[in-house]
Amino acid sequence: MQFRLFQSSVYKNRRTVLKQKISDGLILIMGNDEVGMNYKDNWYPYRQDSCFLYYFGINLAGLAAIIDTESGEETIFGDDLSMDDIVWTGPQPTIAEMAAAVAVTKTAPYKDIETVIRKAITSGRKIHFTPPYRANNRIKIAQWLNIAVRAVHDSASVQLIKSIVSQRSYKEECEIAEMDKAAGISADMHLAAMRYTKPGMKEYEVMAKVKEIAFANNGSLSFHPIVTIHGETLHNVYAGNTIKEGQMVLCDAGAANDMNYAGDLTCTFPAGKKFTQLQKEVYEIVLQAHTSSVAMLQPGVLYKDVYLNAAQKIIEGMQQLAVMKGNAAEAVAAGAHAMFFQCGLGHMIGLDVHDMEDLGEPYVGYTDTLKKSTQFGMKSLRLGRALEAGFTLTVEPGVYCIPQLMDSWKAENKFAEFINYDALEHLRNFSGIRVEEDYLITQTGCQLLGKKLPMTVDEVENIRAQALS
């Protein structure tokens, strides 16, 4: 087998639990196909669908599966290699052999799916599927169910979505071990960035080093990395700037390990050996927000409240710098912290870096009674619900000084009771700072995934001093 699997009982148990949650109809789990990058046969790196990996494990293109919730029958649909295929790809186990490795006894040619689905629909049975995020799966489902392509997303089964979220949110021991490896490789990517960067380098040189570590560990990237001197731009994928003494480098990157479990870490470090005084002061604010967030992680705590606590720490820190004023709690309630902290505090992580986000973010991070805020800043909080043992998530507070946002709010005199706009000018070209770690929620608290990165000012300056000596 060209991919690694858990024991077959892991997959069988997961499907058994799923069948108990859904009492009628068929569950259709779509695998992902290869996707042409610039012409049909020149593919993007292959990524199997995470739900397919979770229930069926097989990390190959051209598959789909159906679970009959009434008979209990499970079928993997796919085609064995022809001689023409083998010439190009080499031999592989048969679909039946791979299915057996995940405790599935029935297989069928891929084209049979349509017949099975049409027959079920004719008998008045429901077809449960998740919202497809790839166009070719959307088109296939539209064809099989005989519905418009534009109607596919809203025809997805909310019952299936909620059932899957209620399983995948709680990581099993075997998964936690893989997440630990992914976070460990991710930590090595960041250590490499901190050890490799020198003033005068281009951002892309550091990015290349970061990527190398992921691939040299038989992994890949869990998302497109960020290596930038403009950390204030949250998803800054441009990496063509020269890194200069006196600046900071923000690196947000993570590995997917060979079983597709994701890590997602961020470090911010000086281009030279030391932070400037102002950089150090703001870094300490972010670190304080991070430390106090981690201290709150335990079952029963709303992640929304952890976010609000981080926001308050950032405001209190900014008050020390005389950039903010007034009552910190009132400033948080009003949303004034979003001058510096425009994004959320973190998200679930697992097989996906934003775990299960294809199923719909509100189903993962919120509940029927806890809805997402629409307030600027807090509306970007992907996870708000109460934490439970087995959840894995990121903690990633930051301070981002966005000149355009400063100008916009200043022009409106927005939150003038909380923001000292004159003092704010000192931070106009500050850029941004984020620190991010991945945690498992345990019965009594939390546990860091991977290994501890240098994070205090002293630790970061020490590793930078070593790198530049």
Q: Under the rule (CB under 5 A), what is the footprint of Mn ion?
A: 264, 394
User: Which contacts of 45-52 are long-range, i.e. CB under 8 A and separated by 24 or more positions?
Assistant: 45/220, 47/260, 48/260, 50/260, 50/350, 50/351, 50/352, 50/356, 50/358, 51/130, 51/164, 51/168, 51/359
Of 264 and 358, nearer to Mn ion (C-beta) is 264
Of 59 and 266, nearer to Mn ion (C-beta) is 266
Q: How far is the CB of 427 from Mn ion (least distance, A)?
A: 23
What would the two tokens of residue 124 be?
């008045």
Q: How far is the CB of 448 from Mn ion (least distance, A)?
A: 15
Q: Nearest to residue 324, comparing CAs of 425, 431, 424, 427?
A: 424
Of 14 and 168, nearer to Mn ion (C-beta) is 168
Residue 447: what are its φ and ψ, rounded to 5°?
-140, 130
Answer yes or no: are the C-beta atoms of 304 and 380 closer than 8 Å: no
Q: What is the DSSP letter of 440?
A: E
Axis crossing angle, helix 112-122 with helix 135-145, rounded to the nearest 10: 50
Q: How far is the CB of 349 from Mn ion (least distance, A)?
A: 7
Tokens 């000292």 correspond to 420
CA distance 277 to 279: 5
410: left (phi over 0), alpha (psi -120 to 50) or beta: alpha
Of 66 and 183, nearer to Mn ion (C-beta) is 183
The single-letter code of the amino acid at 425 is: E
Q: How far is the CB of 280 from Mn ion (least distance, A)?
A: 24
Of 380 and 442, nearer to Mn ion (C-beta) is 380
Q: What is the DSSP letter of 84?
A: H
Tokens 């894995």 correspond to 392
Of 130 and 394, nearer to Mn ion (C-beta) is 394
Q: Which helix (H) or strand (E) holds 286?
A: helix 277-296
Of 264 and 355, nearer to Mn ion (C-beta) is 264
Of 225 and 317, nearer to Mn ion (C-beta) is 225
Q: How far is the CB of 382 from Mn ion (least distance, A)?
A: 9
Axis crossing angle, helix 277-296 with helix 303-320, rounded to the nearest 10: 150
Q: How far is the CB of 141 from Mn ion (least distance, A)?
A: 30
Of 49 and 264, nearer to Mn ion (C-beta) is 264
Q: How far is the CB of 264 from Mn ion (least distance, A)?
A: 4
Q: How far is the CB of 250 from Mn ion (least distance, A)?
A: 12
CA distance 322 to 157: 51
Q: How far is the CB of 341 from Mn ion (least distance, A)?
A: 14
Answer yes or no: are the C-beta atoms of 395 and 193 closer than 8 Å: no
CA distance 156 to 203: 42
Tokens 């029963």 correspond to 300
| 3 state DSSP class of 289 | helix
Of 32 and 266, nearer to Mn ion (C-beta) is 266
CA distance 145 to 134: 17
Q: What is the DSSP letter of 443?
A: S
Answer yes or no: are the C-beta atoms of 259 and 244 closer than 8 Å: no
Q: Is 155 exposed, middle or buried (0-12, 13-18, 19+ CB in 10 A)?
A: middle
Q: How far is the CB of 48 from Mn ion (least distance, A)?
A: 22
Q: How far is the CB of 381 from Mn ion (least distance, A)?
A: 12
CA distance 286 to 23: 48
Q: How far is the CB of 396 from Mn ion (least distance, A)?
A: 5
